[in-house]
A and B are shown apart, each in its own frame.
Chain A
Amino acid sequence: MSMLFAGRAVGATASQPNLLQKLLRAVLTHVRQAVTSLGELWRSPLWALITVAVLGISMTLPTTLHLLVKNVQQVSRSYDQSFEISLFLKNDASATDIATLVTLLQGDNQVAKVRLIDKAAAMAEFKQQSGFGEALAFLDQNPLPDVLLVTPKLNQPAAAEALMHKLEKERFVELAKLDISWLERLAALMNLMQQAVYTIAVLLLSAALLVIGNTIRLSIMDKKAEIEVMKLVGATDAFIQRPFLYTGIWLGVFGGFLAFVVVELMLWWLQGAIATVTQLYQSDFVLRSLSLHEFAYLMLIAVSLGLVGSYIAVRSHIKAIEP
């Protein structure tokens, strides 16, 4: 409807479309503007390339660090699962006492698994692994205690420690042992690394945001005359700024994808070196790359950066251009 002339049918509303047609038209307009923005990027590829490169590289570093943290976590988690409390039993515990204790522990709801390594078995294992072999045969009696290996239900250092203190007080238990301090240190270190990753990410992405904003600003300045004409023939600010916002989104899409490609290339490059290391350690470690979920996050962040960066530029500069 016209502002000044009541009853004057204006624009596409003149044909009185229904809701579905209106929606379809709106979508069509958006698609058209998005494609136009893409075309414009294509026609002026140099500045677009530079901006995409800045965004891509800014996102590559945090992504790589994130992958590093993730892979280290994966390694440490495999150790987490080997939380085991060793209970060294007193020498005077009889076989019946031990069996009672095992039954008791198996009934405990904090305990997942109990395994008994009796003196003889421990000796056999020790003989085999230590290499002393024959020398041990000269011992009069077996000096090794019976050992119970208790696996806690909760795979957390704190829970395991609490359980250890509880089990220590059991009768026939001489000594309880749980080596978790290095795991705690590793966890703290990893936490530190994660915080560092976030800080670096925030800094780099703010820089990328500014670069995108500046790119869009230049593109607005470049089109000053065109924007003036559009305002003169009745374009709203929203209509004028939409192509620039789409440009921002496209920059984000390409920047995010570039980061993804660079990270994948880097992983591919490192794969050989890592395979050598893991082979030497006889570990079955597999380098994890970005999951689909993480890739979606990467793209989402990149697109949001593009959109926000261009929105900042658009807001301040399009209003300023008046015919």
Chain B
Amino acid sequence: MLRFEQVSKGYSGGFVALDRVSFELAKGEMAFLTGHSGAGKSTLLKLISLIERPSAGKVFINGVDLSAVKARQIPYVRRDVGMIFQDHRLLMNHSVFDNVALPLVIEGFTGREMAKRVHAALDQVGLLDKARCLPATLSGGEAQRVGIARAVVNKPPLLLADEPTGNLDPDLSKDIMRVFEAFNQAGVSVLVASHDLGLIARMRYRTMTLKGGKMINDGLTHQEDGE
């Protein structure tokens, strides 16, 4: 589903965010990406969603080389990858319904078909009753779940989450992770970047650890050098 081959990303000024990272995420697999802030988690996710391009190496999604994707094709790649952000990035002056509907509107859906899908997505995250609310009236956990509903509303095969529980208390974090688990059980490949080590350890999924841009651990448990 997702494959990194010796991917490096350097920024001008000599800072190396990722250093020869290789891994593969199988179809229908769920994995965590962890490490301290600045270890390169966000950069890695940005390479998948084509917000950034690698300095060296190649990224493949479903066998398609992303370096061959032209700038004007980027929107179409992003439609295949559901993305969830720490600050949930909702449109604050639009209702929950409109926020979730956005990817569908972009793809040309209208009317009943769109409403059906939006309601299905909101139902999956347990927010069907909040469809008419504005994001400002939601709690942090609810806003994050709206973000998830927006990411899955057009049923992408791959789901990326960048610190989805970063601003949430432990109970809410667990809820959010359960939502990801549910989507994974429905066959979606999920990659979650998080530094919430306690939570990740309890979930017992494959965990990849980045440190200083290098992949230092890839296994069922979290291990970090010097600990």
Contact = CB atoms under 8 A, between A and B. Distances in A.
A232 B49 contact: yes
Given A4-B61, A11-B154, A234 B110 contact: no
A227 to B, nearest CB: 10
Interface string A210-233: 000000000000000110111111
10 shortest A-B CB distances, which residue pairs? A11-B107, A234-B79, A12-B108, A234-B78, A3-B76, A236-B75, A235-B106, A233-B103, A234-B75, A4-B80
Given A3-B69, A28-B110, A8 B157 contact: yes
Nearest to B60: A4
21 contacts: A2-B80, A3-B64, A4-B61, A5-B157, A11-B108, A12-B113, A15-B113, A26-B108, A29-B110, A225-B91, A229-B90, A229-B102, A230-B102, A231-B75, A231-B78, A232-B83, A232-B85, A232-B89, A233-B150, A234-B78, A322-B51
A5 B62 contact: yes
Interface string B54-95: 000000011010000100110111111001010001110000
Contacts of A25: 108, 110
Given A29-B110, A231-B78, 14 more contacts: A2-B76, A11-B79, A11-B108, A11-B154, A12-B110, A29-B108, A32-B110, A229-B102, A230-B102, A231-B75, A233-B83, A234-B75, A236-B106, A237-B72
B72 A236 contact: yes
A170 B107 CA distance: 84
Interface of A: 2-5, 8, 10-13, 15, 25-26, 28-29, 32, 225-226, 228-237, 239, 322-323
Interface in B92-115: 102-104, 106-110, 113
B146 to A, nearest CB: 12
A232 B102 CA distance: 11
A230 B80 contact: no
A234 to B, nearest CB: 4
Nearest to B85: A232
Contact of A232 (B76, B78, B104, B157): B78
A229 B98 CA distance: 13
Nearest to B114: A12
B156 to A, nearest CB: 9
Contacts of B78: 231-234
B107 A12 contact: yes
A8 B82 CA distance: 14
A2 B79 contact: yes
B52 to A, nearest CB: 10
A114 B89 CA distance: 87
B75 A11 contact: no
Given A3-B64, A8-B157, A234 B108 contact: no
Nearest to A17: B108
Interface string B185-227: 0000000000000000000000000000000000000000000
A237 B150 CA distance: 20
Contacts of A15: 113
A25 B106 CA distance: 12
B91 A229 contact: yes
A114 B139 CA distance: 96
